[in-house]
Structure 1
Amino acid sequence: MSQRLYIDVHVVQTVPPANLNRDDQGNPKEAVYGGVRRSRVSSQAWKRATRQHFDEHAPEADRSIRTKRIANELTTRISHDNALEREDAGRIAAVLLAQLGLSQGKKAGDTAYLLFYGNAQLDAVAALVNGRAADLAALDDKALTEAVKDLPVAETFTTGHPVGVALFGRMVADIPKLNVDAAVQVAHALSTHETQLEFDYFTAVDDQNEKDETGAGMIGNIGFNSATLYRYATVGFAQLTGNLGGDTEAAFDALDRFVDSFARSVPTGYQNSFAHRTRPSLVAVVVRTDQPVNLVSAFEEPIAAEAGIQANSARRLAKEHITATQVWGDAPAYCAASHTFTTDEPHTKDTVETLAQAFGEPVTFADLRTNLRSRITAALQDQA
């Protein structure tokens, strides 16, 4: 597929006191933007949360995993499928994976880096020796290597990608044939306003204290902040379709699952301490045929610290989209938004009107996903 088609996803989401993504000091990550300090959640953190969300709702075989322990995982499969002792299965697994030329890690059996693959792909590698594993285990190392050298191990990892690998890609620096170009780009989430780092000083009392004992059994502190975040991601539909072997239906399903999981997922840092899970107040999708467009410039001037930061952020985003479209003259193929603002509230009435001007009348999140598929289909037909 050669068509240029990008699906931009814009999210405004308010998070209460939290530490979603900590830095090397254990405090929430930050960034300076527009001359002020902002709350930041790294793209890597939200991509992992997104991937975990859609894996939770997918069959086991359709899930992906990123690990250094691929040899252990393959050993388990070979041992289980062939009723083989783990030591014998481990020898076979090691020889099969040696064909890939993976650099070895410091710990025996581990690779030097995290390898991203699908469960179905590893199942397929294990299946290459099904029915003959016992005979292979009886061979010495040299004969075993010779016996499996022509099995298509590398080819198995370059086809049949799960949604996670198809979306986020795979980078193996020293083995280019295993690389998969990502179909998704995710920006670092930034607060739309200035934030201040705060600390929660906490104490814990020992439940077994004697009556005359005073003081805490534990004392500590956790850094946190609260913020209204602007989140952005873009999906290259042609790249996604290519990563899925040219299967357009699979690409539609992957896109739908990504939009759903990107909107609903939240990184889990310190979740037991803060119970910070919220839903976005705005999710907007824009289908473009020229290039992805991140609208973070809407917040280069930080939103003032006053009532309605969330509504003001959504309105500022909508205005930026309108202005950018008018200035550049590149109207998108489709845009739509699902949001929680209503005209019943005086302080959100202007926001609702501006959002409608930018993205059309609001729709439910379910309808946004359903309509996206039909509009992309129409855009592809127009390009054809």
Structure 2
Amino acid sequence: MSAPRLFICHHILQSVPPSNLNRDDSGTPKQAVYGGAKRARVSSQAWKRAARISFAEGVPEADRATRTKRITELLAARLTGKEGLTEQQVERLAAALVEPLGIKKSAKQDDQSAYLLFFGRPQLDRIVGLLEGRMRQLADLGDEALKEEIKQLSIAEHLSKGHPAEVALFGRMVADLPSLNVDAAVQVAHALSTHPVQTEFDYYTAVDDEKDRKVEDAGAGMIGTVEFNSATFYRYATLGVHQLQENLSSAEATADTAARFLDAFTRSIPSGHQTSFAHRTLPHLVLVTLRTDQPVNLVSAYEKPVRSRDGIAEESFTRLADELTTISETWGTAPALTLATYAPVGAVQDKVTDAFGSSIPFPQLVERVRTAVAGWLASGEVR
């Protein structure tokens, strides 16, 4: 018999005005063909990073995770000024602490790793704490003796436990050292527009404020173009509560992290060209379904693209309501709990209410999710 599982599926409809949230290598807003129509797309990596940054804003700086190639530099910063170590001794000890991990070094920077590592700042503090009271003694050892002493500290073990919530949510993969891998509790889909989208161009000019127009030409100091589009996006992410619990080893932390992820993912938005477009909006709809069978992405609601000259959001609501109802009836797998926050949606209000239930204020929705997760962890039931 398989272990109990609980998935929190996040379904969001959000309209974004002219913007370039996530561009390709030529500066064009990313796109995808779905259902035979070209859609606006924001990559999962872009929205995942935005959600991670939003999540971290509620965490004290010292307790946050970081993704970097500079683990040696961060360790050196923690060793600096301790027990009278010289700069050379600090660098030597920091390098010695990283060496047992077997992480490949960058070909360009010897003091950096070849790839980004994701870990918690408190984990580094605990590693440095292993040297407390004997830093000078270790720094005076020869290379081989120092290496043998550091081996006894089980550095990898300390990076494999006590994960911050960010690492527990988004996981970690280190090809060189599988023991450091952490299975992600969160999966994020590429956001797609519910309708066809065409890319447009903004031709802009910039004025040289110091140009003397009495003696110089009156032309612009700079001209250029930037590509943009506007779209109503369907966004989706799923959180495996059972995996999050395994990563965090605390029921209270799991329930709190699940609730905070919902808030962070909902409010987050990629920052591409944000100064030019001021594109930050809040969703029309936040739909949360808790499932004990498997996660279900409802993007198939938009396989046939929405086409309208009188607004996209209302029809997008209807499609999503129909898809949730159809999947539940066809497969016999209705969610264990459905919660939603949305604004009034005119003529389709009854259909939306039947599928999603009555709208509740978003702060209340977040607390309901927190309570449901805590209850499931305690009793195995979703209420």
TM-score by length of 1: 0.95
Mapping 1:13-92, distance limit 5 Å: 13-92=14-93
Residue identity (%):
52
The one-letter amino acid of 1:58's match is: V
3-state SS in 2 of match to 1:225: strand
3-state SS in 2 of match to 1:99: helix
Mapping 1:157-172, distance limit 5 Å: 157-172=159-174
Do 2:251 and 2:374's aligned partners in 1 also have CA atoms closer than 8 Å?
Answer: no
1:370 aligns with 2:367: yes
1:250 aligns with 2:247: no
3-state SS in 1 of match to 2:152: coil
TM-aligned CA deviation for residue 64 of structure 1: 0.7
Match for residue 233 of structure 1?
237
Do 2:241 and 2:373's aligned partners in 1 also have CA atoms closer than 8 Å?
Answer: no
Tell me how large the CA RMSD over aligned residues is: 1.5
CA change 1:196–1:3 in 2 (3 A) is same
Q: What is the rounded CA distance, in whole Å, between the counterparts of 1:81 and 1:236 in structure 2?
A: 42
Q: What is the rounded CA distance, in whole Å, between the counterparts of 2:22 and 2:231 in structure 1?
A: 13
**Matched positions, count:** 377
TM-aligned CA deviation for residue 382 of structure 1: 4.5
1:130 aligns with 2:132: yes
Mapping 1:1-384, distance limit 5 Å: 2-106=3-107, 107-212=109-214, 213=216, 214-244=218-248, 246-340=249-343, 342=344, 348-380=345-377, 381-383=379-381
TM-aligned CA deviation for residue 163 of structure 1: 1.0
Q: What is the rounded CA distance, in whole Å, between the counterparts of 1:153 and 1:337 in structure 2?
A: 45
Q: What is the rounded CA distance, in whole Å, between the counterparts of 1:309 and 1:80 in structure 2?
A: 60
Do 1:285 and 1:336's aligned partners in 2 also have CA atoms closer than 8 Å?
Answer: yes
Q: What is the rounded CA distance, in whole Å, between the counterparts of 1:164 and 1:376 in structure 2?
A: 18
Do 1:288 and 1:333's aligned partners in 2 also have CA atoms closer than 8 Å?
Answer: yes
The one-letter amino acid of 2:299's match is: V
Q: What is the rounded CA distance, in whole Å, between the counterparts of 1:83 and 1:315 in structure 2?
A: 68
CA change 1:197–1:258 in 2 (3 A) is same
TM-aligned CA deviation for residue 254 of structure 1: 0.9
Do 2:50 and 2:270's aligned partners in 1 also have CA atoms closer than 8 Å?
Answer: yes
**1:38-64 CA distances to partner (integer Å, 9 max, x unpaired)?**
000000011111111111111123211
Q: Structure 2: 5+ residue runs without aligned partners?
A: none
Do 2:21 and 2:272's aligned partners in 1 also have CA atoms closer than 8 Å?
Answer: yes
TM-aligned CA deviation for residue 378 of structure 1: 4.2
The one-letter amino acid of 1:239's match is: Q
Q: What is the rounded CA distance, in whole Å, between the counterparts of 1:358 and 1:137 in structure 2?
A: 66
TM-aligned CA deviation for residue 82 of structure 1: 4.1
Q: Structure 1: 5+ residue runs without aligned partners?
A: 343-347
